[in-house]
Structure 1
Amino acid sequence: MNKIPTIVDATRKHNNVEVERKRIRAIRNSDVLIQVTHDSEKSSSNKSSSNQLCQILSIDVGCVATGYSHLDRAPCCVAIVNDRCEIIFNSLIKPDKPVVSDLLPFSGVRTAELWGAPSFDEVIEKVHSFFTPTTLIVGQSIMSDIEWMKLEQGVHYNSLIELGDEFTTFDLKYGTHETYVLLNIDLHAMGGHVAKNDAKASIKLYNEYLKDKDQSKLGQAQNALLKAPTKIPLFRQFSGIYEGVCLSAFNRGYCRCGQPLINELHKLTNEKKRRNSNDRKEEALSTSIHKKMKVLNEKNQS
């Protein structure tokens, strides 16, 4: 709009008709400019919105043992990695219970490192700040990490990609077979299962084989996994027990404590959610029928 007076003033030496024509032309051009600018802003806004919709994150949580069953765990570290493989958050967590074992080969953390670490409540507040209702979360056995960090669907994320399901993984927890065969990365040789390394590996697998939804590439990856010799999972190397602590939360054959497996607990949780959902639907239907019957009875009485 600032350009309009300049155009009009430049024509003052001409007659009044020419001035008026110039003024009208300037206003029209200005309107077009405003519309183009507005459209550009809308486009920019849409792109920003689209980027927000496409936020892809991987989160990985490491745990120490607070007891001797495979369910006695407390988070000791957490890392979040974005779709560019950048570590955007990485923190230790001070457990709120005494530590029986730091499970060093599995957590990558020593107990002494946790003494001055922030509390669980401090860390979880920061973790939640990275997630939105439109976030896509990628990871290995991702439900465990989501439950540890109390992430809720519709609040902190929209959907999940479980890499184990996509690649038909051999190692249900860590995905070391996929990482080693497809990325040539040995997570065992990187100081244990460090959360940030596991999260980065998940994003790399997603970017390379799942992001473009190329079924032929995914099929080639699955064939390569089937043909490659499998490494012995870490928990089997310790025969399912480390410093007296049961390690086998995903494999009944190696479980030493007799507690339910993680996938069994997830199944029970999902069944409970379905039952609660069905109960709510039945209750809503019953209420609706009751209201309709009441209206019909009132009409019949009148």
Structure 2
Amino acid sequence: MVLVRRCLPSRKAILVGQNVSKDIEWLGLREGEDFKGVVDLCGVWRTWNPKFKTYSVFSQDHLVRRLLKGQLELSEKHCAEGDSVKSMKLFQLWRELHHEPEKLQREKEKLLEGAPEPSFAKRFPTFEGVCMGNRKTCTCGAPFFG
């Protein structure tokens, strides 16, 4: 934790990731002190689903499969380095599109095509002793949003 804190340009860093608030909590980081802000990919890629009349949120691998077709190799094994590359590619795509609402919406509609594969959290409710926040199998008691 101390190493991560030392590597961050405090009050300047924007943390980017999939459900990044959990990582922030696990690392004991504090907004305004250790970092400036957050871009949670779950939030920026959430998509209105007219079928269910609610927002749908997707796993990082589903986002990669639908939005970055063939640009990245997906692996069954969890890999922090690979996840960070996926996060940055998804963030870069969102940055390119977020000022063009029609283009962004077209990309989001791709996310609703076909059934998503079960997320890592659904396949592995606990990973290395850490609750992955799966609503049905949660062991940590953290609140759920959305």
Higher RCO structure (Cα 8 Å, ≥6 apart):
2
Counterpart of 1:219 in 2: which secondary structure?
helix
Offset, 1:265: 7.0
Q: Is the contact between residue 17 and residue 84 of structure 2 (CA under 8 Å) also seen in structure 1?
A: yes
1:93 counterpart residue number: none
Q: Is the contact between residue 121 and residue 134 of structure 2 (CA under 8 Å) also seen in structure 1?
A: no
Q: Is the contact between residue 136 and residue 161 of structure 1 (CA under 8 Å) also seen in structure 2?
A: yes
1:25 counterpart residue number: none
Under a length normalisation based on structure 2, what TM-score does the superposition of the two structures give?
Answer: 0.73
Q: 1:178 aligns with which of 42, 47, 63?
A: 63
How many positions carry a matched residue from both structures?
Answer: 131
Counterpart of 1:134 in 2: which secondary structure?
coil
Letter in 1 for 2:113: K
Offset, 1:144: 0.9
Q: 2:135 aligns with which of 245, 248, 251?
A: 251
Counterpart of 1:177 in 2: which secondary structure?
helix
Measured in 1, the distance between the counterparts of 2:16 and 2:97 equals 14
* Structure with greater helix percent: 1
Offset, 1:246: 8.8
Measured in 1, the distance between the counterparts of 2:3 and 2:86 equals 22
Q: Is the contact between residue 122 and residue 134 of structure 2 (CA under 8 Å) also seen in structure 1?
A: no
Offset, 1:165: 1.0
Percent identity over the alignment is 21
1:200 counterpart residue number: 85
Q: 2:22 aligns with which of 144, 155, 177?
A: 144
1:68-79 equivalent positions in 2, closer than 5 A: none
Say if 1:250 and 1:183 are closer, same or farther in 2 by CA, change over 3 A: same
2:108 counterpart residue number: 222
Say if 1:142 and 1:247 are closer, same or farther in 2 by CA, change over 3 A: closer
Say if 1:126 and 1:247 are closer, same or farther in 2 by CA, change over 3 A: closer
Measured in 2, the distance between the counterparts of 1:223 and 1:162 equals 19
1:130 counterpart residue number: 7
- What do residues 260-290 of structure 1 show as CA deviations (whole Å, max 9, x unaligned)? 2x3x078xxxxxxxxxxxxxxxxxxxxxxxx
Letter in 2 for 1:139: G
Greater Rg by CA: 1
Unaligned runs of 5+ in 1: 1-123, 267-302
Q: Is the contact between residue 167 and residue 222 of structure 1 (CA under 8 Å) also seen in structure 2?
A: yes
